[in-house]
Structure formats: C-alpha cells, structure tokens
Amino acid sequence: MPRITLPDGSIKEFASPITARQVAEAIGPRLAQAALGCKIDGELRDLSTLIDRDCSLAIVTEKTRDKQADPDALMLIRHSAAHIMAEAIQRIVPEAQLVYGPPLATGFYYDIKFPDNRPLKEGDFAAVEAEMKKIIAEDRPFTRVDSSAPEGMSRLQGEGSKYKIDNAARAVIPKRAAELLNGLVSGHVAVTESDCPGAKLSFYYTGEPMPGVWNDLCRGPHVPSTGRIGAVKVMSLASSYWHGDENSDRLTRVYGTAFATQAELDAYLNQLDEAKKRDHRVIGKQLRLFHIDEMVGQGLVLWTPNGSIVRKELQNFIGSELKKQGYTEVFTPHIGSLDLYKTSGHFPYYKESQFPPIVERDALDRLADEGCSCAEVMRRVEGVSAHLASGINERTKAQTIAPDRVIPDEQLVSGFMLKPMNCPHHARIFASAPHSYRDMPVRLAEFGTVYRWEQSGELNGMTRVRGFTQDDAHLFCTEEQVPAEIQGCLELVKVIFKVLGMKDYRVRVGMRDPDSGKYTGTKESWDKAEAACLAAAESLGVPFSKEPGEAAFYGPKIDFVVKDVIGREWQLGTVQVDYNMAIRFDLSYIGPDNKPHRPVVIHRAPFGSMERFCGVLIEHFAGAFPTWLAPEQVRVLPISEKTADYARQVEQALRAAGVRVTLDETNERIQAKIKDAADWKVPYMVVVGPRDAEASQVSLRARGHMKDLGTMSLTGFVEAIKDEIATRGANTVVSRFV
RNA sequence: GCCGCCAUAGCUCAGCGGUAGAGCAACGGUUUUGUAAACCGUAGGUCGUGGGUUCGAUUCCCACCGGCGGCUCCA
C-alpha cells in the first residue's frame, strides 16, 4: 500500500506496488508522455522503477516548471547517450573494450580501450554519429536487468572484459577488488553470495533483454528509450589512464554531448563558439595584451605595452589598498642561494617542480675533472652541511633533514636557485632586525616573481606559466593576531573583487585531515586558525566549502577559485597560515615578558599571480576593460583633416589630464574610424568636426552604445573622465547622460 | 611528462606531389568625409626546424620544437 508524496505535497495512495511510470499516468497522460525518469526520495531512478513503499516521488521531464532544461533530465539523457555512443563505437570497432562512461555537467565521456592497430580518430566521428542516430531512430527501450552479485560477476567473467569485471568488483567487494582482480579475470576466483550478502549488479540492455542485444554493466538510471534523446554530438578525443594511474592502461576518452532537442545542442555549440572568442589567449593577441614567444621560452609571458598598462593599474590599485591596511613594501632578487631553500625545506623536497639549480662554472669544472657522475653532482648539490643540519634539527621537531643528505663540507657544492616562492627571502628580511611585540604584525608585501617548472602539457596561456609574479605578502604576527589578519586578507580580496565586478568565485577552506599526523604546530593553534578561517569565510558572505585534508602540512588555508570561459576552474588567491616557517628560520620577537616568542606567518596572495589574474580578467571583461584599466581610454576621431588642429587640442587637453588618449589621423571616413576604435574596445570615442571645434565641445560615443551619447564641453569631458578614472568607475561619464 | 590533434603572410584562413592564394592589417595615392568597414594601387611568405622518400616535397614519412584538447601533477 505505498503512499506516495508528490512535489506539490499531495499524497497518492495505491493498493499495490506500482511503477513510477504508472504513477505519472495516474497524474496525467501528458506528464507520462513527457517523463524521462523520476526521483524517489531525492534519488534519480528509472521510470520503470517499482515502488513498493512509502516515499516521495518527482517525475523528471525535459523542462522544469519554469521551462528551463532540467539538470536531472540532462543527466539521464547524457548517461543514456554514453551507452548509445559506446554501442555505435563497438559497431565500428568491435574489439573496443568499454571501461567507464559517466555523464558530465556539459555532456559525457566514455573511456575505451581500443586495439593498438585500430585507434579511434576524429575522422571516425561522422560514422559514430551516424550509427548513434540510427540507434536513436530505432527508439529501443533501455531495459534494466538485475542480477545477484555472483551471477552478474560470472556473466562478466564469461565476457572476459577485465575493465567490466573491475567495475563490478569495485561495486560489490570494494575492499578486495584490487587484490582479487587478476583471479577474477583469469576465472580462478569467483564471487560468492557470502562475499557480499545481498549485493546486486545491474545491466542495461539497449532493447529487449535478449542474447545479442547490446548491453552494459551499469548502475543506471536511463531514459525510457533511445528515441528520447533529441540531439547528440561526438565532441573530442583525449587520453586518460585506467583509474587515473599513469602506470596503468592508457585509454581513449571520447567526449560527447547530448540534449533533449537539436535547438538546445545548437545553442550549446554556439555558446562554446562565443566562449572561444572571449578566451584570453585570443583577446590577448587581438588587443596586443601579452605575447608568449617561442624563442623566449614556453610558459614565459612577455607583457606587451597594452597588457603592461592593465597590470600596472591593477598593481597600483592593490598597492593603495595595501597601504590602507598597513603593509610595507619590500623588493627581493629573483634568485637565492641553495642554503636558503635547504633551510626553508623547498629544496630538494620540491625539486621536480623547480628549475634546476644554478651552479658556479668553476665548481662544475672541478667535479668534471674528478670524473663525477651526474648523480654524484646532484648528491653534492642537494646535500647539506652538518652545521646547517644540526641547526635545523635542534630547532624543529617537524621536518628534519635525512641523515644521508648530510655530507662533509669539502664535498658540498653551493649554488643558487630561481626562486620558487618569495617567503624565504621575506623570512630573512624579518630576521634581519630585532622585533618587539609592539611592532607586530610585520606585513611585508612584494610583487615577487617566482619560477616553477610546470609540466609542458600543463602550460596554458597566462593561466598556467613557468614564471609569474605573485601579489605576495607575508604577515608575521603573534598567535592572537592571526584571526584579525586572516579577516583583513579576506576583506582585501572582497574589495578588489567588488571593484572589478567579479561575483562568480568560490572559496575553499583547506582543513586538517583528522586521520593524519603529518601536521606541524599544536592542536590548539590549528583549532584556532581553522576556526578563524571559517569565521572569515563566513563573514565574507560567499559560497565556501570545508575541505578536510586539503590543508598544507604547515597550516590551514583559504583558496579563491574562479572559472574561465570554458568552465575550467583556476585557483587565484590564497591565504595560508604557516606554523613551520618561523621554526625553520628560527624567527622570534620579544614579547611583553621580555622573552623571545615564535611568530606565526600568514602567506597571502589575494590574486594569486598577476598573469593568471589578468588572464581571468581579460575573459571576465571580454577585453572591454573599465576605463581605469583600459590601455587606451579615449580615442579622438576627427571628421576630416579640416578638424585636425582642434582634434590635436582635444588630445593635448586629455593627455595633460593624465588620460591615455590617442588620435586617429588616418585618412578614413568617420564610420571606419568608429569601427576601428570599437574593435580595439576603447571605452570612449570623441568625434570632433567643425561644429565641435566652433563650440569647444566634443561629440561622445561610449563603448557598447549603438549610437552617440551627445555633446559635452571639452572641459566638462576632461573633468568627467578624470572623475571616472579616479573613482575606478564609480562615477562614469555615461551616467551624466542619463 | 603521457595520449590525440594542429602548424601556410602581422591576424583569420584557402590550397596542394610540379618552388603559393584570399580577406583584414601595413604602406602609397585619390577622396575631405558627422557616427560600426570609401576607392585604386604596392609590398609582404626558404609554407615551424632537421632528416628521409621522390626526377621534383609546402603537400607523403620520421624526429624535434611550438600550440590546442585531455590525462597526470600543482608548495
């Protein structure tokens, strides 16, 4: 006698168990027709699911009540489309073995093992799509068949696909799956009912459950039949590893997408095209904002004059906010001695992600004369002196230097490193003078350029590079000052994001993994710092997630994450509490008790790096920077040469007021000049002809406005745009015309 | 780093076993123009680099460099 609660709160009672489809039919035939699946107690299920107990039920259809595409419906459609694509691919390449094919937010993929002599190529896409469309046209039902775990497993063993056997094993005997896999594949091991009491495996047939009909081990759910998938497209190929392990089998990941209707697919593809136009790499080239040069090196950004203006304005802006918060500015070199990084612990612990050390030529010559192997050279470079080792060992219990790295002084090879972080330099600045509790916190800020050896496949425009400038600072504070300083860091980020109109960001709070003992610092300190991070994130009023285990070993952290135009997430700013650095560098301040105390260090870079931040900002504004940031703020467009003199006067007046202005003296018609200025996304165009010269006025056009704004006196415009720039867009010139 | 794809003028792209073509940009000229592309002309490329196949390679093959999409990694 199931009592079923519907989304509107009404309750329907049935005499006997009933399928979700029958409930939909009982509500109305049109609903039943539109139904793609259902949600039972919030869980997405097949429409054919038999309901034999009290529950809440929502029928899932293409559209939600407000006519938006239903994300649950898209999940069903895409998961089903993944099956259809897999079947289509297996028709074309019968030896292809299926591994894993989940739905995604924008589509789906299927990881497939292709035979080496028959990989899937992009040229196959048309054929795959044609097969998919055939399967859709056949409108075959998706039919679920449940079996007991032993039965299902032996069936898969009969098929002989290790990937499916692995999937099934992970589902029913997760703890022993890895250990038993080989036995299961070879058939020496069977799964018995006692291994996994009550566990089930489900299969989905694309059609009636008969031999010869395509089917796959699958948890489901699916749409009722293949005909319910309105539009599909095979998007791209990529590689992946089985279980994400690079030492494991290499698979081909085939990406596709599916929608309820062709129109929605077209709209999505169109949106992708539009997004590509906003890509910072495209706009960066068009507007000459930056350049990455093959001859200079991969991942090394050249800031061209236009981009440099944007960066400089941002730095000035941050700098002015930092001043308000009591920061002091420092400058440090781009390299530091290996001893510095051995003390901080960066070298050689992170040597894989750093540029290799710089060693004096004489030392290398000497080692060559001695006939040292490369490995021996590295041993001597990475080694530490007994003196340095003992110093660190005495001072910290957290991280010590492995005894085999301590080598005699005469074997040591000293050298330098391009700095991977700014903090060691800043630590030494702190240590260079005595500090009293009265002058804490000490806030050292620097736009510090760091170099990291990112894997070549990871490099990406300005968002992932090998040399970048952090808007870095290190706050050396007392334990009690930590919460207020964290709060201050977040305030800064909030102000900056607000002025730039960036609303689409989220915050991750990285906390301890409760089961790990790798952390340094006392439990009490951690408790306080984590609470401070959470409180600060909460007061910021943005979505944040607690992420246990994501803290660094030296302290909890707060990360800011934004999405780029193609939906990839990039970490921008970070605020990290550090209990370790002060110990390693033996930093101290004198407390009110006239005794030395250990400061806590907060690393913070609210933008992360100027490169990544500007990249994201280019996409955020689609290159149309607000006036205060725009490389070119005003372009003066004389109607003809006859107004050239007045145009020059206008240009001079604006330049004298500190406005970045250019004059278009080309022999073009005004229409062409406007088009050109629009292409360069100049915020304001000043059109001047004889009428304007006569009246000492300007005719104004603002970017994004289809027609001109009207006229304004020259002096009035100069004041208005100065105001817009000075207020960073709070008072705009345009606002004076409405 | 791994897998796949791509590489032609400053930019966007066409072409193809017989030593290259368009549009825009650039430059010169005509026009002197009132709000999103006036007209005419000129110049510009050892077709990413190095090998190989071939009578002949920008085109086919291999390697490298670089880019793109993923994977992995990311203090």
Which DSSP string do the residues of A352-391 spell out, in sequence order? GGSPPPEE-HHHHHHHHHTT--HHHHHHHHH-B-HHHHHH
Chain A 363-392 contacts with nucleic strand B (CB below 7 A): none
A120-167 per-position pLDDT tens digit: 877 788 889 999 999 999 999 999 999 999 999 989 888 888 899 999
Helical H runs in A28-140? Answer: 29-34, 71-92, 125-138
Altogether, the residues listed in chain A come to a count of 738
Q: Is the peptide bond before A197 cis (omega within 30 degrees of 0)?
A: no
CA nearest A341: which of A353, A329, A332, A351? A351
> Up-side HSE of residue A465: CA atoms within 13 Å toward CB?
30
CA nearest A732: which of A722, A659, A708? A722
How far is CA A143 from its chain centroid? 38
User: Annotated catalytic residue: which of A222, A557, A681, A701?
Assistant: A557
Query: Does residue A417 reach within 7 angstroms of strand B, measured from its CB?
Result: no
Is the pLDDT at A363 greater than 80? The verdict is yes
Q: Could you confirm whether A423 is annotated as catalytic?
A: yes
Q: Could you confirm whether A614 is annotated as catalytic?
A: no
Is the pLDDT at A401 greater than 80? The verdict is no
Q: Partners of A337 in the beta sheet?
A: A416
Least confident interval from A25-29, A141-145, A522-526: A522-526
Average pLDDT of chain A, as a whole number: 90
Residue A259 phi, psi dihedral angles, 5° rounding: -135, 170
Q: Partners of A511 in the beta sheet?
A: A548
3-state secondary structure of A199: coil
CA separation for the pair A108, A236 (Å, rounded)? 11
CA separation for the pair A732, A714 (Å, rounded)? 16
Cβ-count burial of A25 within 10 angstroms (0-12 exposed, 13-18 middle, 19+ buried)?
middle
Nearest-5° Cα angle at A728, A726 to A731: 80
CA separation for the pair A246, A252 (Å, rounded)? 13
Which DSSP string do the residues of A386-430 spell out, in sequence order? HHHHHHHHHH-SS----GGGB--GGG---EEEE-S-SHHHHHHHH
CA separation for the pair A147, A149 (Å, rounded)? 6
- Return the pLDDT at A583: 87
* Through-space separation of residue A237 CA and nucleotide B5 C1' in angstroms: 9
A273-312 per-position pLDDT tens digit: 888 888 999 999 999 999 999 889 999 999 999 999 999 9
8 A C-beta contact, residue A476 and residue A431: no
Reading the block at residue A259, the tokens are 């929608």
Q: Which nucleotide is nearest to A454 (CA to C1')?
A: B74
CA separation for the pair A190, A233 (Å, rounded)? 40
CA separation for the pair A402, A384 (Å, rounded)? 10
- Return the pLDDT at A392: 65
CA separation for the pair A78, A44 (Å, rounded)? 13
* Through-space separation of residue A292 CA and nucleotide B45 C1' in angstroms: 22
Contacts of A410 (CB under 8 A, 6+ apart): none
Is the pLDDT at A393 greater than 80? The verdict is no
Is the pLDDT at A400 greater than 70? The verdict is no
Q: Which helix (H) or strand (E) holds A309?
A: helix A305-324
Contacts of A674 (CB under 8 A, 6+ apart): A637, A685, A687, A701
Q: What stretches of A142-199 adopt beta strand conformation (E)?
A: 142-148
Q: Could you confirm whether A472 is annotated as catalytic?
A: yes
- Return the pLDDT at A398: 44
Q: Could you confirm whether A196 is annotated as catalytic?
A: no
CA separation for the pair A727, A735 (Å, rounded)? 13
Query: Does residue A459 reach within 7 angstroms of strand B, measured from its CB?
Result: yes
Q: Which nucleotide is nearest to A120 (CA to C1')?
A: B4
Q: Where on strand B do bases come within 7 A of a protein Cβ? A: 1-5, 11-12, 26, 29-38, 65-75
User: Cβ–Cβ contacts within 10 Å for residue A353, how many?
Assistant: 12
User: Annotated catalytic residue: which of A354, A470, A633, A697?
Assistant: A470
What is the crossing angle of helices A523-540 and A482-499, to 10°?
30
Burial A184-206 (b: 16+ CB within 10 A, else e): bbeeebebeeebbeebebbbbbb
Please, which pLDDT band fits residue A94 given cuts at 50, 70 and 90? Answer: confident
CA nearest A309: which of A632, A610, A573, A679? A632
Higher-confidence residue of A562 and A424: namely: A424
Q: Which nucleotide is nearest to A300 (CA to C1')?
A: B66
The percent of residues in chain A predicted with pLDDT above 90, rounded, is 57
Q: Is the peptide bond before A441 cis (omega within 30 degrees of 0)?
A: yes
A434-466 per-position pLDDT tens digit: 999 999 999 999 999 999 999 988 999 999 999
Q: Which nucleotide is nearest to A557 (CA to C1')?
A: B75
Residue A673 phi, psi dihedral angles, 5° rounding: -65, -40
A233-264 per-position pLDDT tens digit: 998 888 888 888 877 888 889 999 999 999 99
Q: What is the DSSP pairing of strand A108-113 with strand A97-100?
A: antiparallel
Does the CA dihedral A167-A173-A175-A180 come out positive or negative?
negative
Long-range contacts of A450-458 (CB under 8 A, 24+ apart): A450/A418, A450/A419, A450/A420, A450/A421, A450/A422, A451/A334, A451/A354, A451/A355, A451/A418, A451/A419, A451/A420, A452/A353, A452/A354, A452/A355, A452/A420, A453/A352, A453/A353, A453/A354, A453/A355, A454/A299, A454/A353, A456/A298, A456/A299
Contacts of A85 (CB under 8 A, 6+ apart): A101, A108, A110, A128, A132, A232, A234, A254, A256
Query: Does residue A249 reach within 7 angstroms of strand B, measured from its CB?
Result: no
Identify, with chain letter, the residue nearest to nucleotide B30 (CA–C1'): A667
Is the pLDDT at A399 greater than 70? The verdict is no
- Return the pLDDT at A396: 53
Is the pLDDT at A403 greater than 80? The verdict is no
CA nearest A127: which of A98, A88, A80? A88
Q: Partners of A226 in the beta sheet?
A: none
Q: Which nucleotide is nearest to A293 (CA to C1')?
A: B66
Reading the block at residue A416, the tokens are 């330098």
8 A C-beta contact, residue A268 and residue A603: no
3-state secondary structure of A548: strand
Residue A450 phi, psi dihedral angles, 5° rounding: -125, 160
CA nearest A633: which of A699, A702, A696, A697? A702
CA nearest A168: which of A152, A188, A192? A152
CA nearest A620: which of A501, A702, A704? A501
8 A C-beta contact, residue A462 and residue A611: yes
Q: Could you confirm whether A474 is annotated as catalytic?
A: yes
Higher-confidence residue of A395 and A260: namely: A260
User: Annotated catalytic residue: which of A474, A584, A635, A681?
Assistant: A474
Query: Does residue A691 reach within 7 angstroms of strand B, measured from its CB?
Result: yes
Query: Does residue A244 reach within 7 angstroms of strand B, measured from its CB?
Result: yes
Higher-confidence residue of A486 and A245: namely: A486
* Through-space separation of residue A99 CA and nucleotide B51 C1' in angstroms: 40
CA distances from A136 to A228, A230, A254, A343 (A): 8, 8, 19, 64
Q: Which nucleotide is nearest to A241 (CA to C1')?
A: B71
Is the pLDDT at A397 greater than 50? The verdict is no
Chain A 290-319 contacts with nucleic strand B (CB below 7 A): 292, 294, 297-299
Q: CA A195, A196, A202, A203: dihedral to nearest 10 degrees?
A: -10
8 A C-beta contact, residue A249 and residue A100: no
CA separation for the pair A13, A11 (Å, rounded)? 7
- Return the pLDDT at A106: 86
User: Annotated catalytic residue: which of A351, A584, A603, A681?
Assistant: A603
Helical H runs in A195-287? Answer: 262-278, 280-286
Residue A42 phi, psi dihedral angles, 5° rounding: 85, -5
3-state secondary structure of A151: helix
* Through-space separation of residue A23 CA and nucleotide B37 C1' in angstroms: 62
